[in-house]
Structure formats: C-alpha cells, structure tokens
Amino acid sequence: MPNIQSAKKRVKVSEKKNLRNRIVKSGVRTSIRKFDAAVAADPTKATAQLSATSAVIDKAVSKGVIHKNAANRKKARLAKQLNKAAAV
C-alpha cells in the first residue's frame, strides 16, 4: 500500500479507469456474442446486428479502450464471417 499521497491518488484513479475500461470491453464482447448468435440463427438478418456491433466497437475506440487498428480488425473479421455465412 502506498504511503505518499499522490501514489494513493494514482491507485484510486487507476482503479476507476480500470473499472470503466472493463465495462466497455465487456460490452464489446457481449455485442460480438450477440452478432455470432444472429449469424447462427439467420445470416440474412444479421446485418443490423453487425452495424450495432460496429457502433459499440467504435465507441470503445473513441474512449481509448481499444486501439483503432484492433477495432478495424475486429469489424473486418465480423463482416467476413457474415459474408461467409450469407454465401452458404
């Protein structure tokens, strides 16, 4: 446990930021799971879920939780998954 006042404050601040980041990351993972379920159920109607998932990922980028390249990679993989399921 830190003794210096500024170090104590940094611990508090980092815990708050950690909690906020975990909430956002959890929301991204939940949205991706919903997309996977939508693709498995009906690939033709999963495009709406793809746009919703992309929006959640973009919000995570704007909050600085995930890197923009990682977000673009996730979105590209989701679109590829949807196209592959729709083609079958």
Q: What are the sequence ranges of the domains in the chain? A: 5-87
Superfamily of domain 5-87: Ribosomal protein S20 (1.20.58.110)
Query: Could you tell me the CA-to-CA distances from 28 to 3, 4, 6, 32, 87 in Å, in that order?
Result: 37, 36, 33, 6, 26
What does the mean pLDDT of the chain come to?
Answer: 96
Q: What is the pLDDT of residue 84?
A: 95
pLDDT confidence of 9, banded at 50, 70, 90? very high
Quote the pLDDT of residue 20.
97
pTM, rounded to two decimals: 0.89
Residues 20-33, mean pLDDT to the nearest whole number:
98
Rounded to whole angstroms, the Cα distance separating 60 from 46 reads 21
